[in-house]
């Protein structure tokens, strides 16, 4: 159909799209653990096995971590970032035994007080680093830089799609979508503005 501007997943443009794509923002999935947990990195393949397991153990991620159960936390499907587990891990939520929460900060609050916690939630560039740490996945830690440059792979990038012959009104409104109000609104939702 006809459109003047459309916010779309960068990986899913219409087949016949021939207009311009302007970077908008990125949404990333990250794995968080308690600061005291002796783990810094995890292979994506291990997360895919552990997350849907009925009663996963830390030794399933790293043999040196012991036989304690992993306490898993995530966002409810349909809440901000809640559908990324399905997209990046190929797992239909909710997995058995995963505590699903409703507010973006809740999973990290649980992780900060639970030494056996693992949360898969939207990446937050400002998280409580004195009580929570973010894990590298397949050797790359999520950060604003790694999300923007594409080296961190659990990322969904969105673009503004404009038709070849965008109207003057659409051209006029583009600076608003690149402005400070939008940057601030994205930051509040832990979405990363793309240059």
Q: pLDDT in tens for each of the 195 residues of the chain?
A: 567 778 888 888 777 778 888 899 999 999 999 999 999 999 999 999 999 999 999 999 999 999 999 999 999 888 888 889 998 999 876 678 999 999 888 999 999 999 999 999 999 988 888 999 999 999 999 999 999 999 999 999 999 888 888 888 888 888 888 889 988 999 888 888 887
* SS3 assignment for 62-84: CHHHCCCECEEEEECCCCCCCCH
Instruction: Tell me what pLDDT residue 60 has.
Output: 94
- The residues with which 41 forms a beta bridge, in sequence order, are 136
Question: What number of residues does the chain have?
Answer: 195
Instruction: Tell me what pLDDT residue 175 has.
Output: 87
Q: What angle do CA 190, 111, 186 make, to 5 degrees?
A: 5
Supply the Cα-derived Rg of the chain in whole angstroms.
19
Instruction: Tell me what pLDDT residue 173 has.
Output: 85
41-42 and 20-34 strand pairing: unpaired
């Amino acid at each position: 159909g006809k459109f003047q501007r459309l916010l779309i997943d960068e990986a899913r443009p219409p087949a016949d799209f021939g207009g311009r794509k302007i970077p908008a923002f990125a949404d990333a999935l990250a794995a968080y653990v308690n600061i005291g947990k002796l783990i810094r990195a995890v292979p994506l393949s291990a997360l895919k096995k552990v997350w849907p397991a009925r009663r996963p153990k830390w030794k399933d991620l790293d043999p040196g971590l012991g036989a304690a159960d992993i306490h898993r936390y995530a966002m409810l499907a349909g809440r901000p970032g809640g559908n990324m587990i399905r997209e990046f891990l190929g797992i239909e939520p909710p997995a058995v035994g995963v505590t699903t929460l409703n507010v973006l900060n809740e999973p990290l609050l649980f992780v900060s007080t639970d030494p056996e916690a693992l949360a898969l939630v939207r990446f937050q560039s400002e998280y409580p680093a004195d009580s929570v740490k973010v894990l590298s996945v397949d050797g790359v830690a999520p950060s604003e830089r790694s999300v923007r440059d594409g080296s961190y792979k659990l990322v969904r990038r969105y673009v503004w799609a404009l038709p070849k012959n965008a109207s003057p009104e659409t051209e006029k409104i583009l600076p608003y979508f690149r402005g400070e109000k939008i940057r601030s609104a994205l930051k509040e939702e832990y979405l990363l503005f793309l240059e």
